[in-house]
Structures are given as C-alpha cells and as structure tokens.
Amino acid sequence: MLRREFLSTTLGAAAAAAAPVRSTRHKNLEWFTTARFGLFMHYGVYSILGRGEWVQQREAIPVAEYAKLQQRFTADKFDADRITDMAQAAGMKYVTLTARHHDSFCLFKTGQTDFNSLKSPARRDLIGELTAACRRRGLGIFYYYSYALDWRHPFFYSRDYGLASKNAPWNAARPDYKTPDPAYRFREPRDFAKYIQFVHAQLKELLTQYGPISGIWLDPIMGYYCRPELFPIGETYAMIRKLQPQCLICFKQGANGEEDFVAPERTLGPHKLGGEVARQVWEKNKNKLPEICDTLQERVWGYQQRDDRKHRDAEWVMKTLEYCRSIHGNLLLNSGPLPDGSIHAGDEATLREVGKRLKA
C-alpha cells in the first residue's frame, strides 16, 4: 500500500477531529472571518500544456483532442503533505483546490464521468488526499467547482445561446470552433436540465465522500450572468446546505444574494461584464466578508510556462495582504502547480518568506 493511501485510510478518523470546520454555518463563518489568508490552486490536465487554465477555450482545441491529455496526467509530484506544510509556513489557514474546472476534468472520485484523475495514469483522488492532509494539520478545505461553465459536457448551453443574452455582453460558453464540435448536443433550453443533473450529482459526491468541509467555491459567475434563468441556484444552494449545514457557499460576487461571502478577483466590486444582474446582486452582497482572490503569476491561474520568471515576490504579497486587511477581508492567493503537480519553486520560496515576515 502506498504511503498516501495508508495515511488516507488509517488517519481519517483522527484527522477529522483536527479540522477547523465548526458545527454550524454561523460558527464556521466566524472562523473564516478570522482566517485572513488562504492558498488557492488551479491544477488539471491544462497544466500539462503550460499555457494557462483557459487553453482549451482560447486555442479552440477540439473536445476529443483535448481529452487525450488525460493519458499524460501523472501528478507524480503532487504531495498533499508538502503543500499543507508550505501553506502553514506561509501563515495560511485554509486551502482551496479546483475539484473540477471549466474543461470538466475532475480531481476526485466520481461516477458521473470517466474524465477524472482516477482514470488517468495518476490513478489518484487528489481531492481526497488534500482533504486528509488539511485535516491532519488543522487547515480549512474548500472545493472549487465550475458550476456555470463546461467546455466538455454535451448539454451545456451553446456559444450562440450565450451570445444571445441581454444580461451580459460577454460569452465563453464554448470554444469558438470554425465547425461545430460533434460532442456538443445542446439544442434548446430544456436540454440544459441534463447538465444540471450532472452538476448536482457531482456536488453530492463531493459533499458525501470526504466528511465535513469548510465550503464550496463556485465559478464562473460570468457563465451564470449570461443565462441566469437556466440555473436553479436556490435548489443548488439548498442541496449543499442540507448535505452539509455548516458548509459555506461562495459564487464569486454572487448569484442571488444568499452566498456566505464574496470573492472578487483582485479588487472589490461587481463583475464588470455582468451587466444589470451583477449590479443588483452586488448590492445584496456588498457588506459581506470579501475574499480577494489573486495569483502569483501575472494574470492566469493555471501554470503558464512563459511566466516562469515573472512570478510575484514576497513584497507584493505583503502589500496585497495589507490591502485585504484594510477592507476587513481575506486573501486567497493562487499558485498553479506544474504539470507533475509540484509547486513552482519560486512560489514556494515566496510563501515561506511571507510566513517569516508575518511571524516577525
């Protein structure tokens, strides 16, 4: 038995006692309000290409061609213990990992699709491993889930349907293929119910397979703003709260105002491309705890090789932490793991230096 499997199976019960997951949503939010600093990680098959997490959409890579990356996904240096050690050394209190990004590749055990890490050469449940490691160290754990965008699922709404929206002037529902991709079968709004069934089944898996967690972090809000009428957001939130009543919910700047906190990218405010829907929801959420998410690369969240020497330093992180402190919020700071799952050496050095400065 591999060491990671042994730890996952034998230490699970003891680890749960160390997890900073409070018994009620109110108590969990109280803890989160004082957490201040968390680690974000965008990792998936897109990391192999080293051109950011939106590479499939930006380069219009066909679904079948993109799927071949699964057979190159080994994650052989993804080390949950080292990641959580680094996070603690940096003064971070929680970790958020992409359970499923817009390309629909999953880092967890799921019966809804074979496009997942357990069916890759890695043969590993990275969400399970990281959750167990966070519990051993008393760190919170949040699961990022791409709720409002999917470039693989056959019944996510079409690109043309997204562009027809009057609510948002921007659309990234599907890559802009010159000829229709045969994998896409959305034809009318009722087709979208099949996608929602898939999403709800996966959220149920995430909320029932790994024990209590700190929260669910939904994305991208732009996909929701394009077609809000398609998403049963109240039903989704009710399911999450029923399965894990203490679980915090975030959906960036917000979908209906029932979110527990907001997580704008880089600075406060409604999403600039969300139109009137975004402005209305922001009014409901603007006084909630802000979690500013930003990245150690200049712009992208998944690993981008051309940025290897352009990562931000400890001085920048300290200034960003100070900004978040000034608005009484948290900083969720992203590092995109390399193709093998290891943390960029420059990012690790920066975070450990930040931890030293915070202690001083």
Average pLDDT of the residues in 99-116: 98
- 55-67 burial code (b ≥16 CB/10 A, e <16): bbbeeebebeebb
* 3 has a pLDDT exceeding 60: no
User: Above 70 in pLDDT, residue 165?
Assistant: no
Grouping H, G, I as helix, E, B as strand and the rest as coil, residue 289 is coil
How many other CB atoms sit within 10 Å of the CB of residue 71?
11
Residue 275 pLDDT:
82
245 contacts: CB under 8 Å, gap ≥ 6 = 24, 25
At residue 10, the pLDDT reads: 32
- Cα separation, 264 vs 292, in Å, equals 6
Per-residue pLDDT at 11:
35
Tell me the percentage of the chain whose pLDDT exceeds 90.
85
Q: Please state the pTM of the whole predicted model.
A: 0.93
What whole-number distance in Å separates Cα of residue 332 and Cα of residue 304? 19
**pLDDT exceeds cutoff 70 at 64:** yes
Sequence ranges of the domains in the chain: 3-359
* Whether residue 18 has pLDDT greater than 50: no
Q: Specify the DSSP element, H or E, that contains 146.
A: strand 140-146
* Lookup: tokens for 263: 């997580």
Quick one: which of 340, 347, 357 has its CA closest to 50?
340
State the average pLDDT for the chain.
92
In this prediction, residue 164 has a pLDDT band, given cuts at 50, 70 and 90, of low
94 by Cβ neighbours in 10 Å (0-12 / 13-18 / 19+) ranks as buried
**Residue 22's pLDDT is what?**
73
Name the strand (E) or helix (H) holding 5.
helix 3-10
Tell me which of 3.20.20.80, 3.30.300.30, 3.40.50.11540, 3.40.50.1820 is the CATH number of domain 3-359: 3.20.20.80
- The pLDDT-based confidence of 99 (bands split at 50, 70, 90) is very high
Residue 187 identity: R
Number of other residues whose CB lies within 10 A of the CB of residue 238: 12
Summarize pLDDT for 130-150 with one digit per residue, the tens: 999 999 999 999 999 999 999
Q: Are 247 and 270 in contact (CB under 8 A)?
A: no
Contact 165, 196 (CB under 8 A): no
Give the number of C-alpha atoms closer than 13 A to the C-alpha of residue 339, restricted to the C-beta side: 13
Of 153, 149, 148, 161, the residue nearest 181 (C-alpha): 153
d(CA 84, CA 126): 13
170 pLDDT more than 70:
no
Nearest to 92 by CA among 136, 40, 44: 40
